[in-house]
Structure 1
Amino acid sequence: MRRVLRTSAVVVASGILAFSTGMLVAREVGVTQITLVAFLVGMPFAAIPAAVSGGLFALAKSRVGVAVSLTAAAVFVAIQVPSFVTADHVADGTELTVLTINVAHGEADAAAIVAQVRSSGADVLAVQELTDEEVNDLVAAGLEEGLPYSVTAPRPVADGTGLWSRTPLTDGEELADFGFVPVRARTVVDGVGLTLVSFHAMSPATPRHTEQWDRDLARMRDLMNSYPGVVVVAGDFNATGDHRQFRTLASDGFQDAADAAGAGLFRTFPASRPLARLDHVVTSDGVDALEVNPVNIPDSDHLGVVAHLRLPAAEDLSPTSADQNRGSSMTGGGGS
Structure 2
Amino acid sequence: MERETVRPVRSRRLRSSPWWWLLLAALPWAWFPLRDGLGLVGDTLAIVLPLLAGLAAVASVALGRWWGVVTAVSLVLFATVAVVGPWTPEDAGPVAPGRGVTVASANVTALPGTVPALRAADAEVLVVVEDSPSIDAALDAAYPFRVFVDGTPSVGVYSRVPVRLLEAQGPDFPGLRVAVEGRSPFVLYAMHVPRPWWTGSGSYQATPAEHHRLVEETAERVAREPGPVVVAGDLNSTDRARDYRLLVGQGLTDTLRSAWAGPTSVTQWRLFLLRIDHLLAGPGWCGDDAQRFPLPGSDHDGIAATVGPCASR
TM over 0.5: yes
1:32 match = 40
1:148 match = 144
- What residue ranges of structure 1 are gaps of 5+ in the alignment? 317-336
1:202 match = 194
1:112 match = 114
- Judging changes above 3 Å, is the alpha-carbon distance between structure 1 residues 90 and 52 closer, same or farther for their aligned structure 2 residues? farther
Deviations 1:19-39 (A, max 9, x none): 735654663226224xx5333
Alpha-carbon distance in structure 2 between the residues aligned to 1:55 and 1:289: 46
Letter in 2 for 1:187: V
2:267 match = 271
Alpha-carbon distance in structure 1 between the residues aligned to 2:82 and 2:174: 36
Of 246, 249, 261, the residue aligned with 1:248 is 246
Letter in 2 for 1:127: V
Of 227, 230, 240, the residue aligned with 1:229 is 227
- Judging changes above 3 Å, is the alpha-carbon distance between structure 1 residues 137 and 193 closer, same or farther for their aligned structure 2 residues? closer
- 1:187 equivalent to 2:180? Answer yes
Alpha-carbon distance in structure 2 between the residues aligned to 1:236 and 1:284: 17
CA contact (8 A) 1:30 1:243 kept: no
Deviations 1:214-245 (A, max 9, x none): 11100110111122322111111111111112
CA contact (8 A) 2:103 2:125 kept: yes
Task: Please provide the CA RMSD for this pair.
Answer: 3.9
Of 135, 138, 144, the residue aligned with 1:137 is 135
1:326 match = none
Alpha-carbon distance in structure 2 between the residues aligned to 1:72 and 1:273: 19
- Equivalent position SS for 1:7: helix
Of 87, 90, 114, the residue aligned with 1:83 is 87
Alpha-carbon distance in structure 2 between the residues aligned to 1:76 and 1:46: 12
* TM superposition shift of 1:42: 4.1
Deviations 1:57-93 (A, max 9, x none): 78349xxx969x8499469627743531241424314
TM-score by length of 1: 0.72
- Judging changes above 3 Å, is the alpha-carbon distance between structure 1 residues 111 and 47 closer, same or farther for their aligned structure 2 residues? closer
TM-score by length of 2: 0.77
CA contact (8 A) 1:203 1:213 kept: yes
* TM superposition shift of 1:248: 0.8
Of 8, 11, 29, the residue aligned with 2:15 is 8
2:212 match = 214
Range with greater deviation from structure 2 (69-78 or 266-275): 69-78
Percent of aligned pairs sharing the same letter? 23
- Equivalent position SS for 2:246: helix
CA contact (8 A) 2:136 2:148 kept: no
Letter in 1 for 2:309: P
- Judging changes above 3 Å, is the alpha-carbon distance between structure 1 residues 86 and 136 closer, same or farther for their aligned structure 2 residues? same
Letter in 2 for 1:31: G
* TM superposition shift of 1:281: 1.0
Alpha-carbon distance in structure 1 between the residues aligned to 2:52 and 2:288: 29
Letter in 2 for 1:144: D
Of 139, 145, 159, the residue aligned with 1:165 is 159
Alpha-carbon distance in structure 2 between the residues aligned to 1:173 and 1:217: 17
* TM superposition shift of 1:154: 0.4
- Judging changes above 3 Å, is the alpha-carbon distance between structure 1 residues 52 and 96 closer, same or farther for their aligned structure 2 residues? farther
* TM superposition shift of 1:47: 7.2
Alpha-carbon distance in structure 1 between the residues aligned to 2:155 and 2:193: 11
- 1:20 equivalent to 2:28? Answer yes
- Judging changes above 3 Å, is the alpha-carbon distance between structure 1 residues 262 and 47 closer, same or farther for their aligned structure 2 residues? farther
* TM superposition shift of 1:50: 6.7
Alpha-carbon distance in structure 2 between the residues aligned to 1:200 and 1:150: 17
Alpha-carbon distance in structure 1 between the residues aligned to 2:296 and 2:80: 34
Range with greater deviation from structure 2 (52-61 or 270-279): 52-61
- What residue ranges of structure 2 are gaps of 5+ in the alignment? 1-7, 199-204
Alpha-carbon distance in structure 2 between the residues aligned to 1:235 and 1:3: 53
- Judging changes above 3 Å, is the alpha-carbon distance between structure 1 residues 204 and 88 closer, same or farther for their aligned structure 2 residues? closer
- 1:95 equivalent to 2:93? Answer no
Alpha-carbon distance in structure 2 between the residues aligned to 1:170 and 1:223: 18
CA contact (8 A) 1:200 1:235 kept: yes
Letter in 1 for 2:193: A
CA contact (8 A) 2:125 2:158 kept: yes
